[in-house]
Amino acid sequence: MAAARSIGAWTGIMQALLNHTRPQISSLRKIHTSGSQTKADEGPQAHYFPPLKTAMLPKDTFKGKTAFITGGGTGLGKGMASMLSSLGANVVIAARRAAVLENTATEISSHTGNPVLPVQMDIRDPSAVAAALDACEAKFGLPNIIINNAAGNFISPSERLSPNAWKTVTDIVLNGTAFVTLEAGKRLIKAEQGGVFLSITTTYTRSGSGFVSPSASAKAGVETLTRSLAAEWGRYGMRFNCIAPGPIETEGAFSRLDPTGSFVNSAHKRIPAGRLGEVEELANLATYLVSDYASWITGETLAMDGGSSRFHSGDFNSLIRLTSDQWDEMERLIRKSANKDRTVGQDGGEFRYMAGEFNLLNRVTPEQWDMMAKMIRTTNKTSKDK
């Protein structure tokens, strides 16, 4: 009986470790209607890994150079544009929302004193991409740096995806990146001018992840395009790399991927560094990779995630939350069952399941999905109205 109670307690412990990813309808309503979300707490180890937000490269590193950044009006794109401008670059930011771009360009220029050109562009349209690069050439000349940052993503069970939903994400992420990269590359080749390309992907391109299959597939394609062109176009003086960031809180992405706020408020528990990343940290890595300091790095994807992908990939990493007493009890149970037969080398797909950040959403009911979809639509409508 005592052993049964111990096993039951252990089962309860493991279930409790997972329950934080399984919001109930009542808590979803409470969070959604509260009108505010708090920033994620940090783990006690976070003070060992402080985010340094100042530029690490020397001033004027990019003086005389031009950077063309897609999705540069907000979030990560804005952060990279700001840091490149502060380091002397002429910057072009291209995206669909003209008003947002103009405000961002004015804001960055007022802080750095360097010119920022906003260009309205639908990345899904090759003619619009060509027109945006025409505008860049007319103002600054051909870009030396091209950053593919534009992205589209949302969470959904794959069986609920329409062909249009799939196409929307892949058109922005994969096709849009290809349109920009190929158009800019052809111009640079014709002008006999080298260049550096950087694409922003994600850590789950390596593991796959449920509930974000369009984004995972498209960004995996971007990484393969990067490796392919690094091999082919190095002869033209071009480098190609990717950054695969972990969770970095930005308004646009988190409104679609975490409408309830439940992920951001517990994410630090699944990140060995104990905190989410900061935009400026990614911007520092990006500026390094597109600088001459990284001239011998090409065809690579660098993960920047505080160790979260390593944590997710290990079957037993959630055991980090056990107390010493719980470990003692577990070891006793293990010794007791040591002579029992076990199946070795078969995981039934568990590795793939544990590795994807969103796979635990398998426990969300259809009713909860309906509510989350409604919340995402409401959040997106509010963002567009601002």
Indicate the range of 178-182, 254-258, 277-281 predicted with least confidence: 254-258
The pLDDT value recorded for residue 233 is: 99
| Residue 236 among the catalytic residues | no
Catalytic, out of 204, 236, 293, 353: 204
pLDDT tens, residue by residue, 12-24: 444 443 443 333 3
**CA-wise closest residue to 95 among 109, 80, 115, 78:** 78
Yes or no: is domain 56-309 CATH 3.90.870.10? no
Predicted TM-score (pTM) of this structure: 0.76
Q: Cα dist. 368→151, 257, 364 in Å?
A: 26, 14, 6
The pLDDT value recorded for residue 268 is: 75
Tell me how far apart the alpha carbons of residues 174 and 150 are, in angstroms, rounded to a whole number.
Answer: 10
Q: How confident is the model at residue 263 (pLDDT cuts 50, 70, 90)?
A: low
Tell me how far apart the alpha carbons of residues 65 and 77 are, in angstroms, rounded to a whole number.
Answer: 18
The pLDDT value recorded for residue 153 is: 87
pLDDT tens, residue by residue, 219-255: 999 999 999 999 999 999 999 999 999 989 876 655 5
* Strand arrangement, sheet containing 145-148: 116-120, 90-95, 66-70, 145-148, 195-200, 238-245, 300-304
For the chain, what percent of residues have pLDDT higher than 70? Answer: 73
Q: What is the mean pLDDT of residues 348-358?
A: 59
- Neighbour tally for 358: CB within 10 Å: 18
Check whether 259 has a pLDDT greater than 80.
no
The pLDDT value recorded for residue 253 is: 57
pLDDT tens, residue by residue, 2-13: 444 333 443 444
Yes or no: say if 179 and 129 are a contact pair by the CB < 8 Å rule: yes
The pLDDT value recorded for residue 319 is: 67
